[in-house]
Amino acid sequence: MRRVAILISGGGSNMMTLLRAMEEGDFPARAVLVLANNPDAGGLEKAAALGIPTAVVDHRPFGKDRAAFDAAVDAELRAADVDLVCLAGFMRILTPEFTAGWEGRMLNIHPSLLPLYKGLHTHQRAIEAGDAVHGCSVHLVTAALDDGPVLGQARVAILPDDTPETLAARVLVQEHRLYPAVLKRFASGDQTAIILE
Ligand code: GAR
């Protein structure tokens, strides 16, 4: 049974789907910590309501010292004896030292079909490019932003009238299917990619 920490910055809808999935009896992982960099992250209360331990490492007192912030996050993860880390809407750039410490054990969900559209504003960029298809990816985290081996993807058609908001909403539905499926497979020791249509 792998011990999972979920790192969030906001509302935590992906976090909730992971927490619900891990409550299922045959899931090879369980949540031991939800950590936010923002004390106002809505996901914190939702996790606490499910009885999951929560922690906050507010990034603001650290200013530009990303290494010190990452070290504080790392200390929380080590103290909780975490095996796997799931980034779920965690909007901080991590240092190479931190990612190296969790290499092969840290997953992220990103709202694009990687390697397309790393970074922010992915839905708007896909629409502006005239793409027919968009989607989301779960990948292993490496030092480079939104890089690392892809563990799963789900595709979403872009409709003629789509705005970044309408497209984001449909992609999010697929994120909620994809992330628990990938975590389940990954936690069981299988790293073959999952492709959802
Ligand atoms: C999700 O769409 C996730 O893919 C995205 O933030 C949203 C978080 O929503 N992540 C990134 O953009 C990471 N660069 P949630 O808090 O409801 O899960």
Tokens of 21: 């999935």
Tell me, yes or no, if 176 is annotated catalytic.
no
CB 179 within 8 A of CB 187: no
Ligand 1 centroid distance, CA of 27 (Å): 23
Check if the beta carbon of residue 152 is closer than 8 Å to that of residue 175: no
The pLDDT, as a whole number, for residue 161 is 96
Instruction: Give per-residue pLDDT as tens, 105-150.
Output: 999 999 999 999 999 999 999 999 999 999 999 999 999 999 999 9
Neighbours of 84 (CB within 10 A): 20
Of 152, 155, 144, 154, which is closest to residue 184 (Cα–Cα)?
Answer: 152
Q: What is the pLDDT of residue 9?
A: 97
Q: What is the pLDDT of residues 13-54, one digit of tens each?
A: 999 999 999 999 899 999 999 999 999 999 999 999 999 999
What is the tens place of the pLDDT at every residue in 130-142? 999 999 999 999 9
Catalytic residue among 59, 110, 134, 139: 110
Q: Please write the tens of the pLDDT for every residue from 42-99.
A: 999 999 999 999 999 999 999 999 999 999 999 999 999 999 999 999 999 999 999 9
Domains of the chain by start residue, with CATH: 1-102 (3.40.50.170), 108-197 (3.40.50.170)
> In whole numbers, what is the pLDDT of the chain averaged over residues?
97
Question: Quick one: tokens of 41?
Answer: 């992250």
By alpha-carbon position, which residue is closest to atom 6 of ligand 1?
89
Dihedral pair phi/psi, residue 152, rounded to 5°: 180, 150
Task: State the distance from the centre of ligand 1 to the C-alpha of 182, rounded, in angstroms.
Answer: 16
